[in-house]
Amino acid sequence: MGLAAVVLAAGKGTRMKSRHPKVLHRVAGRPMLQYVLDAVRAAGAERVIVVAGVGHEAVASVVGVVGGEVVIQEQQLGTAHALLQAEAPLSGFQGEVLVVCGDTPLLRAETLTRLVDQHRASGAAATVLTAMVDNPWGYGRVVRDAAGRILRIVEQADGAPEELAIKEINTGVFCFAAEGLFAALRRISTANRQGEYYLTDILAVYANDGRPVASVPVDDPTEVHGINDRRQLAQAEKLIRRSVLDYWMDNGVTVIDPESTYIDREACIGPDTIIHPFTIIEGESIIGEECALGPGARLVRCRLGDRVTVQYAVVVESSIGDRSVIGPFAYVRPGCEIGSEVKVGDFVELKKARVGTGSKIPHLSYVGDAVIGEKVNIGAGTITCNYDGEKKWPTVIEDGAFIGSNANLVAPVTVGRGAYIGAGSTIRRDVPPGALGVARSEQKNIPDWKSRKEKQQKRST
């Protein structure tokens, strides 16, 4: 029998105080909704329907990445009303319907699988995932009869004091038999303190009809923590970040200080790489083996080969070949392709630069819109003057060229293979292969200048 998942994600998320839909706020670099979508897929859902409301276009673009259908709940009239929006896409569907909230990124696929398996085994019409918590405030409480059968769920706003003392709560995750589900939802009223259609009321509807209702307890209640505000977002961030670090440590990566290391969920890191404190690896970054990252490295959507060193540097949307050394204090901006055994040293900025194997840009340089060959040496203070105020122009430096210190290369310009540039030159014309390009005024020495100056000063006093 089939499994469909419905993800409730239309709520305004008022407590986030945000203009963005709550479920799109990121945890360890990816929208929290994406965690939930991955979990329901991994639990075997072959249909995934996301109920979106505010900001549904943005929600749809995230759903599109993972795959799933979006239905729109125009007005947020409650969780039962939200689930009813899935009736049309699920018409004729037979099997089970798993219902989860879009704001629980910590929920694990194993837990969902256990819920679905036990639901199927028991033959219940509905099975709710519950949790025992010390502080049940804000959650729906699970009310049972003397025999332990579930009678109903009562919400925080509606509970009598003795009900609110109950510590077994509704996690908001359910498994339903599709058969009769939507008919039952339509029988739910808004007769409650909040005037909403509560999904939780379906348990009382079934219990009254004599349809069996079951529950499955969750092992670890932190897993079902809903994110309602920015503090909870930070808590989830911390937990997921730690689990990402644990995963990489289990796979052979050394993390010197997990407290100060931030690795996004999408990143991938090779074994025997050592990550020093204050390192941030963002987005779909792919790091090779035996690299040394940090202290103080920020890598954004980067690709690094093996044995690369990056220290006190920011590298964005660029690739770096094996055994290259970046930093300390380097800024590699988007679009750089750095080859193997390259050195990009202190106070060097690169932008859209291709740097060939074995080349060195050791200090104080700006290299932008440039193609640099192999074994090129770029002296301290070299600047590619790539912008004329209107357009960007390319600089080409061919294999084995040597650029003396403090040179300005006014693009478009080409320095030929093996050519030399004299220190302090401003180069505006191409330099042929093997030539020396010098463009600076001749030095003049004025003899005895100091003593003449001192005499002059004496006379004037």
User: What residue ranges bind ligand UD1 (CB under 6 A)?
Assistant: 8-11, 51, 73, 76-79, 81-82, 101-103, 139-140, 153, 155, 169-172, 198-200, 226
**H/E element holding 255?**
strand 254-255
Cα gap 258→330, rounded to integer Å: 24
Choosing among Ca ion, ligand UD1, none, which partner's interface includes residue 200 (Cβ < 5 to 8 Å by kind)? Answer: ligand UD1
Choosing among Ca ion, ligand UD1, none, which partner's interface includes residue 10 (Cβ < 5 to 8 Å by kind)? Answer: ligand UD1
Is 276 catalytic? The answer is no
Cα gap 441→309, rounded to integer Å: 40
For residues 73 and 414, which CB has a smaller minimum distance to ligand UD1 in the complex?
Answer: 73
Which part of the chain contacts Ca ion (CB under 5 A), choosing from 63-71, 151-159, 221-229, 292-300?
221-229
For residues 226 and 294, which CB has a smaller minimum distance to Ca ion in the complex?
Answer: 226
Contact between 360 and 338 under an 8 Å Cβ cutoff? The reply is: no
Minimum gap (Å) between residue 11 Cβ and Ca ion? 7
Return the HEC string of 36-96. Answer: HHHHHHHCCCCEEEEEEECEHHHHHHHHHHHCCEEEECCCCCCHHHHHHCCCCCCCCCCEE
Minimum gap (Å) between residue 98 Cβ and Ca ion? 17
How many alpha carbons fall within 13 Å on the CB side of residue 194?
A: 14
Site string for Ca ion, 222-241 (x = CB under 5 A): ----x---------------
Cα gap 84→8, rounded to integer Å: 11
Cα gap 397→417, rounded to integer Å: 7
Choosing among Ca ion, ligand UD1, none, which partner's interface includes residue 111 (Cβ < 5 to 8 Å by kind)? Answer: none
Q: Exactly one of 25, 119, 276, 363 is catalytic; which is it?
A: 363
For residues 169 and 304, which CB has a smaller minimum distance to Ca ion in the complex?
Answer: 169
Contact between 428 and 412 under an 8 Å Cβ cutoff? The reply is: no
Minimum gap (Å) between residue 99 Cβ and Ca ion? 13
User: What residues are paired with 2 via a beta bridge?
Assistant: 95
Which part of the chain contacts Ca ion (CB under 5 A), choosing from 220-228, 317-325, 425-433, 451-459?
220-228
End-to-end CA distance of the chain: 106
Which part of the chain contacts Ca ion (CB under 5 A), choosing from 219-227, 356-364, 385-393, 431-439?
219-227
Query: How far is Cα of residue 356 from the mean position of the Cα atoms in its chain?
Result: 31
For residues 53 and 226, which CB has a smaller minimum distance to Ca ion in the complex?
Answer: 226
Cα gap 412→417, rounded to integer Å: 16
For residues 226 and 321, which CB has a smaller minimum distance to Ca ion in the complex?
Answer: 226
Binding residues for Ca ion, rule: CB under 5 A, are 226
**Which residues are catalytic, by number?**
363
